[in-house]
Amino acid sequence: MIILSTARKQKRPRPRYRPKIFYDILCSIIKQEASGDIARITRVQNEVNLPSDRFRTHLEDMEALGLIKHGEGLTSTEKGRAFVSEYEKVAEVLRRFGLD
């Protein structure tokens, strides 16, 4: 009982929201592109720490939104890079206002 209540009291990490997951995926892709590699799906998935089925679903959504291209590997699009830039600005506003 004590163990249960202690476990309940421990602070769980907040679940990531879809835009944050998109941002993490794009950051991982852009980082690998910057180092001259092809962004491999498994490597990106490991970096963003998502189960395979959810990761695939997010990739499909991101491709449909035009944020990434899915070919031999994963590549970021202009729209995807613009999203990363916008997300970083917004996250900064939220951090400054104590809302992140």
- Run of H or E including 38: none
Contact status: 86 vs another protein (CB under 8 A): yes
Contact status: 66 vs another protein (CB under 8 A): no
Q: How many CA atoms lie within 13 A of 40 on its CB side?
A: 4
Q: Considering the complex, what minimum distance in angstroms separates the CB of residue 32 from another protein?
A: 23
Q: How many CA atoms lie within 13 A of 12 on its CB side?
A: 7
CB under 8 A: which stretch of 2-10, 36-44, 62-70, 90-98 binds another protein? 90-98
| Burial call 49-59: b when 16+ CB within 10 Å, e when fewer | ebeeeebeebb
Site for another protein in 13-42 (CB under 8 A): 14-15, 17-20
Contact status: 8 vs another protein (CB under 8 A): no
Contact status: 64 vs another protein (CB under 8 A): no
Q: Which residues bind another protein (CB under 8 A)?
A: 14-15, 17-20, 83, 86-87, 89-100
